[in-house]
Structure 1
């Protein structure tokens, strides 16, 4: 006679410990945190542990994705670049309007949410050349060098004098924009943002007149 098997007793549901829950937006939160901390504390004050705490995510999530703070910062800068609003259809503008459009966009970036991180980027790259070599090439130099071709074309087309120095012209405009933002009080950011377009237009006109271009 076949013996009837008694049904196995139901197992109670497994209760998970109170560990930190996973977040679908871990990368976005880490990018925001690393840019905020870098802007506040600079390179020497930045750490993966600090980013995890600031972002409110587990340290293991950070260490599984990035081997060091440089890699995380580089990824955050790449992500920032992808979400930037850049001037559209500027290649066909006259050189004066082209320079104004790009310099204004750069100024608005410095005045934006992560402006302090970008200003720290320049000083950190200067103080830590080996650690920032790749960041310098991909995130600092590329933004400036991308304008060279258009200025060289303006020289070739006669919009600018033949003896125009591309480097000197860009240094004068880009450097002035950065200094203008850095040396202004954060309390005046709203006023600065309101007047930045007029400031840039006057700046570009002064530089173009200085090299003998028609404005």
Structure 2
């Protein structure tokens, strides 16, 4: 987490981790309106002073916690377009369903109010688009799909399919989502539509 270094005794990395986890969980469940340093401190089992020694404001705390706990989509080259898209779908599913999934979703909702969070959200979106487009370009270069494939439509369908599947699944059933199976089936369906 990008906290400012403090003079004196060395920082305890366990406190940093607990605070980051608590901040992301609180933001995911309450959004910015319910986010406070006091609530994060309570949830993490630390004093407010410990937080303020590391982060100068609640926005800096949240931005640092999101940077540490919410992963960014990575470009992965498996050697095939199908393999790449399955990996992309898995990453997106893990992002939505993982321990920071609620915070990831909240980032999109609350970003307009918070410049630091908006910047982090934009990085997520740009990384996702860059990674996905690189996968499609490689697939076109390898002759796996036609050069005139509607790239934006294909990627919108993949990313939207993942997001809709997660959001339309009742909370109590989300742990039952088979990430591997859904990613495989979604990509199979999409690639059949562009053959």
Query: What range describes the TM-score normalised by the shorter chain of this pair?
Result: 0.7 to 0.9
Q: Where does residue 64 of structure 2 map in the other structure?
A: 75
2:21 corresponds to 1:32 = yes
Q: Where does residue 138 of structure 2 map in the other structure?
A: 153
Q: CA deviation at 1:35?
A: 0.7
2:184 pairs, out of 171, 184, 201, with 201
Identify which range, 196-205 or 130-139, moves more after superposition: 130-139
2:89 corresponds to 1:106 = no
User: How has the CA–CA distance of structure 1 residues 179 and 72 changed in structure 2, closer, same or farther, with 3 Å as cutoff?
Assistant: same
- With the length of structure 2 as denominator, give the TM-score of the two structures: 0.82
Aligned counterparts, 1:27-176, within 5 A = 27-80=16-69, 90-125=76-111, 127-128=112-113, 130-176=115-161
Structure 1 gaps, min length 5: 1-21
| Cα contact 1:173–1:203 (8 A) shared by 2 | yes
Structure 2 gaps, min length 5: 1-10
Structure whose CA Rg is larger: 1
Greater helix proportion: 2
The whole-number CA distance in structure 2 between the counterparts of 1:153 and 1:123 is 33
The whole-number CA distance in structure 1 between the counterparts of 2:130 and 2:68 is 20
- Post-superposition Cα deviations, 1:146-178, rounded to whole Å, max 9, x if no partner, equal 232121122233212111233322221111111
The whole-number CA distance in structure 1 between the counterparts of 2:48 and 2:158 is 42
SS in 1 for 2:65: helix
SS in 1 for 2:147: coil
The whole-number CA distance in structure 2 between the counterparts of 1:149 and 1:174 is 15
- With the length of structure 1 as denominator, give the TM-score of the two structures: 0.75
CA RMSD of aligned residues (A): 2.5
